[in-house]
Amino acid sequence: MRLIVGISGASGAIIAVDLLRKLKQLDTVETHLIITEGAALTFRHETDFDLYDIKKLADVVYDVNEIDASIASGSFLTDGMVIVPCSMKTVAGIASGYAENLLLRAADVCIKENRKLVVVPREIPFSRIHLRNLKEIADNGVVVLPPMLTFYNVPSTIQQQIDHIVGKILMQFKLPSSLPEWNNH
């Protein structure tokens, strides 16, 4: 499986790191990573991670301005893309088809080629404009997966909340996750 992971400049960069770590453990997944300039800033503000170490978690890393990269073409076969976290700027770019950088172009390619695209939007509260843009992309087949807190799994740590969100992302691509199957019997 070939999966593109995009990280944009929204709060929640730690979720992307956790996803990359879990994908790295799967021998069957080849990851292609794009980190926006805004994401690089977010990493500095929210984490102690060095971007070099984060990039080592991916198989292939692209510069966000490398618009001629292989993942910018529909002839480069992938199984889809996840953007985590996904800023409202990125959502607006996807909704309007404004592919000004590689992250947006790769998302655009996934939509036009009918490949799975999952966005993990980070903003609260959502404005009417945000909701309009999220509805627009959802109407075009994009999976909108907000990183919502859950309590039915009785989490006691932030890491358990992150694990749950990452598990939900992995399930979208039919990849193994640590989420237990719901069974009320």
Q: What is the pLDDT of residue 87?
A: 98
Q: What is the pLDDT of residue 182?
A: 65
Q: What are the structural domains, with CATH classification, of the chain?
A: 2-172 (3.40.50.1950)
Looking at the DSSP bridge assignments, the partners of residue 118 are 82, 143
DSSP letter at 70 equals G
Q: How many CA atoms lie within 13 A of 103 on its CB side?
A: 28
**Which residue in the block uniquely carries the two structure tokens 């945000």?**
130
For 159, the token pair is 């890491």
As a whole number, the mean pLDDT across the chain is: 95
For 17, the token pair is 């790191």
Q: What is the pLDDT of residue 184?
A: 59
What would the pLDDT profile of 56-83 be if each residue is shown by its tens digit?
999 999 999 999 999 999 999 999 999 9
pLDDT per 10-residue tile (average), the chain, 185 residues: 97 96 97 97 93 97 97 98 98 97 98 98 96 98 95 91 96 88 62
Query: The pTM is what?
Result: 0.95
DSSP letter at 72 equals G
Measured CA to CA in angstroms, residue 48 lies from 45, 92, 164, 171 at distances of 8, 29, 22, 28
What would the pLDDT profile of 117-135 be if each residue is shown by its tens digit?
999 999 999 999 999 999 9
Percent of the chain whose predicted confidence (pLDDT) is above 70: 97
